[in-house]
Amino acid sequence: MTTSHRLLLVNGPNLNLLGTREPHIYGTDTLADVERVTTEAAAARGFAVRAVQSNHEGVLIDAIHDAREDCAGIVINAGAYTHTSVALRDALSAVALPVAEVHISDLSAREPFRQHSYIADVAVVHVVGEGVPGYARAVALLCDVITGQADG
């Protein structure tokens, strides 16, 4: 698999609890479901996926840094770090890979502190509030950017 055919999937804190954590907000799909949906969507476009989930910011930053060696883009749901981490935002900016930001819930309908994303300005794709299927759409849109097939 060449660099041009791999995506990094990053899931942040508490996303390991998907399926049991606040199912009225996040649904009943699990992190394994997220990884499956993402991998299948990427495979349909000829891409592989390397997935990382961590509750530790530094682990996520290290994975993002490593992606510049063998990935063509990053799909990220930073969880709560979306709203708090300038360091994660700076890592995404520093690696200069196209980024798709995805969130299971609709941030605009959540608490005020969840309505700001530090990642938004470095992402070229935003998929918010579509549940786990949103990961597949984020992958498709990101692959279009990577392959030069994106609109606009």
Q: Regarding beta strands 99-103 and 48-53, do their DSSP bridges make them parallel or antiparallel, or are they unpaired?
A: unpaired
Of the candidates 81, 103, 118, 135, the residue annotated as catalytic is: 103
Task: Please indicate if the annotation marks 104 as binding a ligand.
Answer: yes
CA 107/CA 26 separation, integer angstroms: 12
Q: What is the sign, positive or negative, of the torsion defined by CA atoms of 111, 79, 15, 45?
A: positive
16 assigned binding-site residue: no
Rounded Cα–Cα distance for residues 24 and 6 (Å): 33
The answer to whether 118 is a known catalytic residue is: no
**77 marked as part of a ligand binding site:** yes
Of 26, 81, 118, 135, the catalytic one is 26
Which residues contact residue 5 at a Cβ distance below 8 angstroms, ignoring those fewer than 6 apart?
46, 47, 48, 72
Of 111, 137, 115, give the one whose Cα is nearest residue 126. Answer: 137
Residue 114 among known ligand-binding residues: yes
119 assigned binding-site residue = no
Q: Is 83 annotated as a binding residue?
A: yes
Return d(Cα 7, Cα 70) in angstroms, integer: 9
**Does the active-site annotation cover 81?**
no
Q: Annotated binding residues, as ranges? A: 77, 83, 90, 104-105, 114
Q: Annotated binding residues for substrate, as ranges? A: 77, 83, 90, 104-105, 114
- So which residues are the catalytic ones? 26, 103
